[in-house]
Structure 1
Amino acid sequence: MTTHARTDFPFLRALMASPTPVVMEVKQRDAHGHDLLGGRTPAQVVSAYESAGAPCVSVVTGRWFGGSNTLLREVAALTPLPLLQKDFITRTEQLRTAAELGASAVLLTAALLPASSLAKLVDRCLLTGLTPFVEITTEAELEAVPHAPECVIAVNNKDIKTRERDTGDLGRSIGLLPAVRATGTPCPVSASGIDGPTTAARLLDAGFGGLLVGTSLLRSGSPAQWLDAVSGARRGLAVR
């Protein structure tokens, strides 16, 4: 398969170029069914993310979290920022739909996909101009990721077998980071369970190129202040 220049993929380009590489998430409910919007509209959430300097936005369309394709279409109409569709993608037809709805990247969950299916979906993403955002939890899953230099590879700190109702294991991200970086992915990401700015700062300081954060940001009240706190925590780590 012919690979593509990274500049062909706006999601990856924006994330790598950002001084605050946090993919900020639009999500209706948390894993326990609790409302996260607090009366805000998606437009208000997206506006706050733009003001904070978000390079990209993740839109959770999975029904577990109260999402839908309609939400992705709505967010795409609200912002020019590159969008990640976060759902369980298992068929190539879903990739075409994602692109039509305005996504620039799609979540591919390695734990749910046989290696052959993952390879087919990654290939089709790259041919479609979508960044494959491949989520892994083990080295065995990581070894099945094809074309890693063209993918965002994200370590999911939570367990999908429990519908991500656990608090998350940040040690998984730290432990897998060397292996993730060794694949040649241009942007290793830590995703889920990032409970606040201090945790975010530690992960970025450890060498992650990006983070995906939803619940913590949505509950913070101010994404801009949340990011300011990350910067402050990173400065604190640098002087130790």
Structure 2
Amino acid sequence: MTFTDALLSAPRPVIMEVKRRDADGTDLMWPRTVPEVVAAYEEAGAPCVSVVTGRWFGGSEELLREVAALTRLPLLRKDFVTSRRQLERTRELGASAVLLTVKLLPAGVLARLVDHALDLGLTPFVEVADAAEAAAVPRAAQCVVAVNNKDIATRERLPGDLDRSAALLPAVRATGTRCAVSASGIADPADAARLLEAGFQGLLIGTGLLRAPHPGHWCAALDAARRAPAGALNAL
């Protein structure tokens, strides 16, 4: 099953992230091991797992290799990928999808990377932060298009702006993507429920889950919020 199909068919479409450090350098894993985190995500029903390989967050290619050996769930590699060789390496390491950040890539480079990713069998997980970036996504029907609620210009150190996702959802839908995702800065299960209710087909959550006592407890709270009577979410 492809990364996109796994997310779209999930009763709880939350991409759960393995990330060693937050943007301020705080350890998010201790005292848990990578196998313990992955096992907890599988127990919580994760349809897909994101693995941050960027050194900015303490990641590495070895982290992706380790997670790929621990689970058969589709994996997203999150890093600043800018070359064909990085795409090929991503496939070699066992990922099913790869992050491509529109803000970092000239239009021609982005188009070539999307084409090459698809040729390799990788799902392009294309990250946007405004309507112009959404409109620039090539072959969007074959991509996941994700709104980043944080700003890479500030190294994602500021709180996430969930209003950005709400404002950009029409522009993301207009790309023709099958799968619109809200990514980063989501910690409260009630906020997560609101984003799904608004029409996002998936969420990517890392720090919020890693700081929760257990991802299963966080997911149970999300399920409860989604079952709330119509209109009740606004009061949560």
1:21 equivalenced with 2:13 (yes/no): yes
Out of 55, 79, 83, the position equivalent to 1:87 is 79
1:54-133 → structure 2 map (5 Å cutoff): 54-133=46-125
Q: Alpha-carbon deviation of 1:236? A: 1.7
Partner of 2:38: 46
Residues in 2 aligned to 1:200 and 1:113: alpha-carbon distance in whole angstroms? 29
1:167 equivalenced with 2:159 (yes/no): yes
| TM-score, length of structure 2 as denominator length | 0.96
- Structure 1 gap segments, 5+ residues each: 1-6
Residues in 2 aligned to 1:223 and 1:35: alpha-carbon distance in whole angstroms? 17
Residues in 2 aligned to 1:232 and 1:30: alpha-carbon distance in whole angstroms? 28
Q: Report sequence identity in percent.
A: 65
Q: Deviations over 1:151-184 (max 9, x none)?
A: 0000000000010001011111000001111211
Residues in 2 aligned to 1:219 and 1:209: alpha-carbon distance in whole angstroms? 24
- Structure 2 gap segments, 5+ residues each: none
Residues in 2 aligned to 1:92 and 1:221: alpha-carbon distance in whole angstroms? 39
Residues in 2 aligned to 1:131 and 1:237: alpha-carbon distance in whole angstroms? 35
| TM-score, length of structure 1 as denominator length | 0.95
Residues in 2 aligned to 1:113 and 1:213: alpha-carbon distance in whole angstroms? 24
Q: Look up the equivalent residue of 2:188 and give its one-letter code.
A: G
Partner of 1:178: 170
Q: Alpha-carbon deviation of 1:238? A: 2.7
Residues in 1 aligned to 2:108 and 2:130: alpha-carbon distance in whole angstroms? 18
Q: Deviations over 1:7-37 (max 9, x none)?
A: 6xx1111011101100000000000000000
Partner of 1:201: 193
Number of residue pairs matched by the alignment: 232
Partner of 1:236: 228
Residues in 2 aligned to 1:70 and 1:155: alpha-carbon distance in whole angstroms? 27
Partner of 1:152: 144
Q: Look up the equivalent residue of 1:89 and give its one-letter code.
A: V
Q: Look up the equivalent residue of 1:35 and give its one-letter code.
A: D
Q: Deviations over 1:20-55 (max 9, x none)?
A: 100000000000000000211110000000000000
* Secondary structure of 2:211 counterpart: helix
Q: Look up the equivalent residue of 1:31 and give its one-letter code.
A: A
Out of 126, 134, 149, the position equivalent to 1:142 is 134
Residues in 2 aligned to 1:16 and 1:132: alpha-carbon distance in whole angstroms? 15
Partner of 1:4: none
Residues in 1 aligned to 2:42 and 2:26: alpha-carbon distance in whole angstroms? 24
Q: Alpha-carbon deviation of 1:222? A: 1.0
Quickly say closer, same or farther: Cα 1:139–1:239, change in 2 above 3 A.
closer
Q: Look up the equivalent residue of 1:179 and give its one-letter code.
A: A
Q: Alpha-carbon deviation of 1:190? A: 0.2
Q: Alpha-carbon deviation of 1:239? A: 5.7
TM-align CA RMSD:
0.9
1:200-219 → structure 2 map (5 Å cutoff): 200-219=192-211
Partner of 1:3: none
Q: Deviations over 1:159-215 (max 9, x none)?
A: 000100010111110000011112111110000000221110110011000000000
